[in-house]
Amino acid sequence: MAFRHNRVLLPAAVALVAGFWGCSPKADVEAGRRLVDRFHADFNAGRYAEIYTGADPEFRKEAKLDDFVKYESMVKDKLGDFQSSQVTNFNVLYLFTHSQVRLDYDCVFKLGKAKEVFELRQSDGKTSLVAYRIDSPLLPE
C-alpha cells in the first residue's frame, strides 16, 4: 500500500521541483522593468487608456478607466514628463499559478521627483500591471 502512494507522490514532487527550477528572479525582474519602461513611454505620450487596457484584470477591477485617465492626467500636470528612474528595491514571489514582482523606483520628472511602486503579475510568459502607486510632495494626498 505504501508503495502505491510513493508512485503518486514521487511524480508530483518531481513536477513541483521542476516547476521551481524554471523560476528566474533576474528574468522576472527584467520582464518587469520592460513593462515599467513601456508604462513610462505611454505616460509621456499621454496614452493612459492604453496603460489601463493593458493592465491585469485585477487592476481594472480596482479602478475605472475614467478615474485612471483623470488621475494620470493630473500627475502629468503636476510632475511633467517622466525623465529617468532607478530601481531602489525589488521582490519576487513565486506562487503556484504565477509569480508576482514588486519594483520600487526613485523617479525624476520634468517638474520634480517621485517614488513609484509597481506590482506585476507574470504568468504564461506575459507580464501585467496589478497595482501602481506614485508618491511625491507635488501630488495631493
Q: Of all residues in the chain, what percent carry a pLDDT higher than 70? A: 84
pLDDT of 12 above 60: no
Q: How many residues does the chain have?
A: 141
At 79 the pLDDT is 98
- Give 94-126 pLDDT, tens digit per residue: 998 999 999 999 999 999 999 999 999 999 889
Going by pLDDT thresholds of 50, 70 and 90, the confidence category of residue 23 is: low
Q: Percent helix, strand and coil across the chain, each rounded to 5?
A: 50, 35, 20
* pTM of this prediction exceeds 0.85: no
Residue 56 clears pLDDT 90, i.e. is over it: yes
- Which one-letter amino acid corresponds to residue 97? T
Q: How many other C-beta atoms are found inside a 10 Å radius of the C-beta of residue 27? A: 13
Decide if 72 contacts 129 (C-beta within 8 A).
no
Q: What is the CATH topology of the domain spanning 24-135?
A: Nuclear Transport Factor 2; Chain: A, (3.10.450)
